[in-house]
Amino acid sequence: MKILAAMSGGVDSAVAAARAVDAGHDVTGVHLALSRAPEAVRAGARGCCTIEDARDARRAADVLGIPFYVWDLAEQFREDVIDDFVAEYAAGRTPNPCLRCNEKIKFAAVLDRARALGFDAVVTGHHARLDVDADGVPRLARSVDEAKDQSYVLAVLTREQLRYAMFPLGDTTKEQVRREAAQRGLAVAEKPDSHDICFIANGDTMGFLREQLGSRPGEIVDGDSGSVVGSHDGAYAYTVGQRKGLRLANPVNDGKPRYVLSIEPVANRITVGTAEQLEVTTVVAERPVWTGGRAPAFPWRGTVQMRAHGGLAEATAEVDATGRLLVGLHTPARGIAAGQAIVLYDGDDVVGSATIASAAA
């Protein structure tokens, strides 16, 4: 097959491209230029998409002996990922930009262009397992390396997008990937993984949002008494479940730590309360995407994940008359934020995902 290998400049995508070559495919490497003004050098494990990353990707392609190109998608990345990220925080929600990048850039813009150019599939270094049967029905599943599993951020992909995707690393641990890269002579074998949000290289999300949205002072109130217990510079900089950085000026009498319970963007108000008040048992989610192309039989029962690095929770799900997903958690969960994805699993297999709209006790 004619394969396009998305090469970020990291070790995972380099080894994924190498495995595609080993499988006998006609492979072309492409690096996505996602920043309008990329930094020359990465700040350790923070950020990505620097000039250094592009050069690392090119060197890996040279070692593999495959053609290599750079595609400038900076404008689309700004519109579909960065602007969406800012707008979601401004609306009081907590988005996942990696999920949006997979959905809108890597498996929409890139896949569409690849198909138009005659490529049969796009291969990436994501840690997830993917099989597609003869009828084109995909089975997306967790990686064997649970610590590196990325099925959560891939669960937003549609059946059609998954039909043209390849994830060769799903059966491999990160340690094995690095060892293989070293054996292949790839200079990125020990390159640190990218962490945090790629377009906020210094890790200061609050500072980035303040630059985009400006200072918007408001009140922090106690959920029980309604009394003002502090102030903030912008409700957009907080997320449900947050404890650090609240700077409460008037501590409550019980001495318990306080967490963000809710964010009211119109009133520009943050409500805080105890950890127990964070507990929810019902989650309402919108715009479900079913991995196999159709919804499962309802009522559905399995496990759900509600944060990129969160654990699994036993749950039951239904769909209401408007198509929203109604999930009942068997045990209360804390810190469930609107804007995040809820992903449904049957064992290791991804059933589908939806965007959390609200959660309640």
Active site residues per annotation: 101, 198
Tokens of 333: 């969960």
How far apart CA 257 and CA 291 sit, in angstroms, is: 40
DSSP letter for 207, please: H
- 263 Cβ contact partners less than 8 Å away, ≥ 6 residues apart: 92, 235, 238, 239, 240, 269, 270, 271
What is the Cα–Cα distance from 305 to 313, expressed in whole angstroms? 7
DSSP 157: -
What is the greatest pairwise CA distance in the chain? Answer: 68
The rounded distance, in Å, linking the Cα atoms of 165 and 245 is: 40
Beta pairing partners, 130: 140
HEC profile of 249-307 = CCCCCCCCCCEEEEEECCCCEEEEECCHHHCEEEEEEEEEEECCCCCCCCCEEEEEECC
Give one DSSP letter per residue of 2-45, joined into a string.
EEEEE--SSHHHHHHHHHHHHTT-EEEEEEEE--SS--SS-BTT
DSSP codes of every residue in 117-148: TT-SEEE---SEEEEE-TTS-EEEEE-S-GGG
Q: Could you tell me which residues come within 8 angstroms of residue 68 by beta carbon, excluding any fewer than 6 positions away?
A: 7, 28, 29, 30, 31, 57, 58, 61, 62
Three-point CA angle 232, 361, 311, nearest 5°:
80
